[in-house]
Chain A
Amino acid sequence: MALRPEDEALLARLDDEALYERLLHAHGGRELSPHKRASGLVHALRALPGAEKAFAMANDPDPEKRRLDALTTLMMPSSFAGYPPALLHHLALHFSRVAVAARDKSLVWSRTAHEAALAAFFALAAHEGYLTSFVSRALGEGASARDVDRLASSLPLEPLAALGAEALEGARRLGTETRAALDVLTRVPGAAARSGAPAPFVAKVVARAEALRATAVDAALEPIAQALDDATIANELTSRGIDVLVQVVPVWEATGRDEAVERFFVERAEPVCWEIQRRKEWERFASLFGSPEDVSRGVSQKATFRLVESLFLRVKADRSKVAYAAACAQFFVFYTNVVATLDRQIAVGERALDVCPSHRNGRAVLASFLCQKAVRLSEGLVPQRSALDDAWALVTRAETLFPTSREVKETRELVERRRSGGFPRLP
């Protein structure tokens, strides 16, 4: 007996409900119970190009061959451009729920789901007609056009604001949820790009996310800044100040190695370094920066110089960050007090000039190291010719770096004398 169209519709709805339950369990875990209206997502997916194949895979008569991969790909495309607003609405809510449910099981999947949810919300924001109609229906008769417009434009961005609030709320403790929120905020540019929304909207969303993240990072750094101020007033920058600065490293890690934390470190550590230098407490540089092994391995929680290295790479990669080039160079100069050998000091000095070629202090310090090496090569009663050639090259480089240096002038005279067969000056 042929089924009535109404019966066909009922069967299709039951099929959609069953398939949505499978999708929800696959994405978020079996403990989630689906709401019946959410199966409208499955119905809306059928209208997408490529849906027929994906549904055939999902409903394969052979249970062994049933796969949800293709449907999941349709639900998480590289771009949501062209997706109907009702489907975007469903997808945004579906992945928001999945992201929260997956937080305790897989942070990676939770973040991926969160990014997909944000992308769908941002894509939905571009459908003003759908949102306006939705809001005016829900507000009921008599709603003012101004209220309708305000809510229609703000609702799709509320998840972003909620992320900012979550990041800010736990910023001082930097617990798991705060870290997750900060991490998702870094993914907003990716989500906005996937949304397929117009460029001005994407720029607005990205700027908003950056502001929210910056506010949370500032809040996380605030206790450290306060403690540094206290150490300055107590004239304990080189003791208590170092202990406080070391606490920046966990904040840097918790915020996903945020550039703002690196800039904070560079700005607040510089007075500490000058004070160490003024007091000639050279060993304190190692307490502040960590040993070269710690820094190069990148495992020590106290190796603050990793922040400088990271900022150095950022400045090298993006010249728009050139304002921090001189600061990086100065920190490499300070760091020469930590490394053990002359060759390594020269290598660190070279990095200072690599990031900021005109850095006066860097040029002076590197010229000095080069002269020291040239003197060593020229030492001995009968130095090898090749060693003297190397010494000459070093002193020539030192001269280009800092021609007015007295040390360079004296070294040049020494090397010249040795090359012409003279003896080293007696001590």
Chain B
Amino acid sequence: MNPFDRYDIDPSSPPSAITERFRELVADADESERDALRAAWDALTLHPESRVRAAFFSHPETREPLGAPPRRKRPQHEEPPRLTLVGLLVLPSLVALLPAVPTSASASVPHFPLDLSDPALTEK
């Protein structure tokens, strides 16, 4: 298959544009495809006559240019609530108003001694 068709390159592109396109392709390709891409790049950029020949036997770009896509509409921006003096007040901490929590958590946990007669615990 013609490399210009296979890799979707405009046949009238200069070597620099071809290299740029292959750079993109290599970046997206996995390791197994990279060797083939490098070989195709070599053939197109290192051998000018091969490049011209391949370009000639690929459909030229004669379509009308499409122009710029329409600008994207931004999402509607909502006005933030108006800032008032009340909003600037530093309110007291609610945590401080809660009853005190014991510092040692183990103090509130009941003690259950191990049943050493349980064969599962004594099994070696």
Residues of A participating in the B interface, judged by any CB pair closer than 8 Å: 4-7, 9-10, 12-13, 16, 35-41, 43-44, 86, 89-90, 93, 96, 134-135, 137-141, 143, 147, 151, 155, 158
B55 to chain A, nearest CB (A): 4
Residues of A within 8 A of B53 (CB): 155, 158
Contact residues, B52-69 vs A (CB, 8 A): 52-53, 55-69
B70 touches A7 (CB 8 A): yes
Q: A134-B12, A135-B52 are in contact. Are A90 and B62 (CB under 8 A)?
A: yes
CB<8 Å pairs between A and B, sample of 26: A5-B67, A6-B66, A6-B69, A9-B65, A10-B66, A12-B64, A35-B5, A35-B58, A35-B59, A36-B8, A37-B5, A37-B10, A37-B61, A38-B59, A40-B61, A40-B63, A43-B62, A43-B63, A93-B57, A93-B58, A134-B55, A137-B14, A138-B12, A140-B48, A143-B48, A158-B53
With both chains docked as a complex, state the minimum distance between the C-beta of A124 and any C-beta of chain B, in angstroms. 10
Select which of A9, A90, A141, A158 is within 8 A of B66 by beta carbon. Answer: A9
Contacts of A90 in B (CB 8 A): 59-60, 62
Q: How far is the CB of A32 from chain B (nearest CB, A)?
A: 12
Classify the secondary structure of A's interface with B.
helix
Query: Does the CB pair A134–B56 fall under 8 Å?
Result: yes
Whether B48 and A139, one on each chain, are in contact in the complex, defined by CB atoms closer than 8 angstroms, is yes
**Complex Cα–Cα for A43 and B16 (A):** 28
- Least Cβ distance of A420 to chain B in Å? 86
- Beyond the given A16-B63, A134-B55, A134-B56, please list 15 additional residue pairs across the A-B interface where CB-CB is below 8 A: A6-B66, A9-B65, A10-B66, A12-B64, A13-B64, A35-B58, A36-B8, A37-B60, A38-B59, A44-B62, A89-B59, A96-B57, A138-B56, A151-B52, A155-B56
Instruction: Closest B residue to A12 by CB, please name it.
Output: B64
Contacts of A89 in B (CB 8 A): 59-60
CA of A89 to CA of B62, assembled, Å: 10
Residues of A within 8 A of B69 (CB): 6
Would you call A37 and B59 a contact (CB within 8 A)?
Answer: yes
Top 5 A-B pairs ranked by shortest CB distance?
A: A40-B62, A6-B67, A37-B59, A38-B59, A138-B55
Shortest Cβ gap from A92 to chain B (Å): 9
Q: When each residue 100-120 of chain B gets 1 if its CB lies under 8 Å from chain A and 0 otherwise, what string results?
A: 000000000000000000000
Task: Give the residues in chain A near B52, CB-CB below 8 Å.
Answer: 135, 138-139, 151, 155
> Is the Cβ of B63 less than 8 Å from the Cβ of A37?
yes
In the complex, are the beta carbons of B70 and A6 less than 8 A apart? yes
Chain B residues within an 8 Å CB radius of A16: 63
Chain B residues, Cβ within 8 Å of A141: 14
Are A86 and B60 within 8 A (Cβ)? Answer: yes
Please give, as numbers and ranges, the residues of chain B lying within 8 Å of A6 by CB-CB distance.
Answer: 66-70
Instruction: Report Cα–Cα, A16/B62, bound state, in Å.
Output: 12
- Residues of chain A lying within 8 A (CB to CB) of residue B57: 93, 96
CB distance from A151 to the nearest CB of B (A): 6
CB contacts under 8 Å to A, within B1-56, are 5, 8, 10-12, 14-16, 48-49, 51-53, 55-56
